[in-house]
A and B are shown apart, each in its own frame.
Chain A
Amino acid sequence: MNEARGPRAAQGAFHVLVVDDDPDMVAYLTRLLRTEGMDAEAALDGEQAFALIADSPPGLVLLDVMMPGVSGFDICRKLKADEATALVPIVLITALEDTESRVRGIEAGADDFLSKPVNREELLARIRTLRRLHEMRKELEERRLAAEVHRKEAIRKAFSRYISPRLTEKVLSESQNGADVFRDLSDRTAVVALFADLRGFTRLSVTVPVSRVVPMMNEFFAELATAVHENEGTIFSMAGDSLLVGFNVPVAQPDAAERALATARVMVRRFAPIARRWKSDFGLTVGIGIGIEAGEVVVGNVGSPSFMSYTIIGDPVNVAARLMQMASTNEILIGPCAMESLHAVLGEANSFDRRELTLRGKAAPVEVLAVRVAAY
């Protein structure tokens, strides 16, 4: 019988890999293990061992230290350094009086030692103990992973109310709890605020049957939210027919102004086919008006104990809201602070012009940039 590949034990039997260059030791050890109902497999060198482990990770490895080629210590070190096999117990087989090998074995991460000549009872007792330990470790690891998945799911659920799924994944992959990724928002924070609303909403609400208004508004907001998520913005509020979005918050985005402008353009383009359909179905002329401004805001949960919302408050939000109100259909008005960040980007665009506008609450007129988006 070929002892290296001998008969496989019953399904679910404890799987032990014996690594030894001496065929007699391999035959002896695999025989003892199989007699005890274990699933024993053998490798005569390191290369064969790695191939078998990759194919089917064992529950335990019995490893001779003195082998030609890759030594038992090197195999042990490699298995312990690999996340997939680090928890597999390794028993190093050394000569009885070989203290130096035992020290090297401990340094290589071995879990236990067995002396050659191998005593049958000692071998089986050590394997039983390590098997129990291995199963406990595996169970603990599985519980830890389940808790981790549960915790991430809770974070994902909480985040996804505000930020894009892609950004949520980024936060979760880069940080255990978001703490390393999120900006410190305890002070005033520089953001880019974008306000968008539906032009023609008042007419829509009086001409379209009430039962159709909510599904139509959902359609409108769905397109806008998709545009926001594509550019990793954060939605702070959806009220009536308008939407407030922030960039560079809660995660730092050096290109926040570019993201805001890209979002605005995508909003108009995504909504265009819907606007055409509404025109043909209800005779409505609709579009989107958008305002963008940059500056410092206060970020936080604002409200009363019974009703709170995560929001941004400050002058750029007010300016963006005013600009949105003043924008024509499918026009983006960009405030003076956001404009500064967009010079490089807008240099390439030919569909914009500068305007001086007097905004409510501002003493002096401000220069803004108007960008028309072709709604094709």
Chain B
Amino acid sequence: MPEKTYTVTIAKDLEDLIPVFVEHRRKELESLRAALAAGAFEQLRQLGHRMKGVGMSYGFDRVSALGKQIEEGARTGDRGAVEARIAEYADYLARVKVVYE
């Protein structure tokens, strides 16, 4: 069975911004993991909020969707849900492919 990939289509005029954007998301993932390990739910909520705002603006709808769930999970203190979404985020970032048009 072929490995699952996520394809994102981005406007051509944003192409040069994407490597920096993706790099920031990877750093964000590390921050999320660190905050989860520390039980820092307010920080998790803020990170989720930021993902929610920035992801879809660039065309990465899944980043926004996961961000919203992390923000909600952190707000309610649902550690299990947040941990699961962070794992999903890690998987997404590992598999996402960008197409420019």
**Please, what's the 1-or-0 string for B3-21, where 1 marks a CB less than 8 Å from any CB in chain A?**
0000000010110110011
> In the complex, are the beta carbons of A117 and B55 less than 8 A apart?
yes
Q: Is A358 an interface residue (CB 8 A)?
A: no
Stretch at the interface among A19-27, A299-307, A319-327: A19-27
Give the number of A-B contacts (CB < 8 Å).
Answer: 44
Given the complex of chains A and B, what is the CA–CA distance between A116 and B49 in angstroms?
Answer: 10
Interface size in chain B (residues, C-beta < 8 A): 18
> In the complex, are the beta carbons of A95 and B20 less than 8 A apart?
no
> In the complex, are the beta carbons of B14 and A25 less than 8 A apart?
no
Query: A35: nearest residue on chain B (CB-CB)?
Result: B13
Interface size in chain A (residues, C-beta < 8 A): 16
**Please, what's the 1-or-0 string for A93-127, where 1 marks a CB less than 8 Å from any CB in chain B?**
00100000000000000000000111010000000
Which of B20-35 touch A at CB < 8 Å?
20-21, 24
Q: Is B58 an interface residue (CB 8 A)?
A: yes
A283: min CB distance to chain B, Å:
92
Known contacts A27-B17, A27-B20, A117-B64; is-contact A95 B54 (Cβ 8 Å): no
Which of A1-45 touch B at CB < 8 Å?
1, 3, 22-25, 27-28, 31, 35
> In the complex, are the beta carbons of B56 and A117 less than 8 A apart?
yes
Which of A289-313 touch B at CB < 8 Å?
none
Query: A120: nearest residue on chain B (CB-CB)?
Result: B11
Known contacts A66-B49, A117-B64; is-contact A22 B54 (Cβ 8 Å): yes
Known contacts A23-B24, A28-B58, A117-B64; is-contact A95 B17 (Cβ 8 Å): no
A244: min CB distance to chain B, Å:
76
Closest 8 CB pairs of A and B: A117-B56, A116-B53, A117-B57, A118-B57, A24-B54, A27-B17, A24-B21, A28-B57
B residues contacting A by CB (< 8 A) are 11, 13-14, 16-17, 20-21, 24, 49-50, 52-58, 64
Q: Would you list 21 pairs from A and B whose C-beta atoms are within 8 A, ordered by A residue?
A: A22-B50, A22-B53, A22-B54, A24-B17, A24-B20, A24-B21, A24-B54, A24-B58, A25-B54, A27-B17, A28-B58, A31-B13, A95-B49, A95-B52, A95-B53, A116-B53, A117-B53, A117-B55, A117-B57, A118-B57, A120-B11
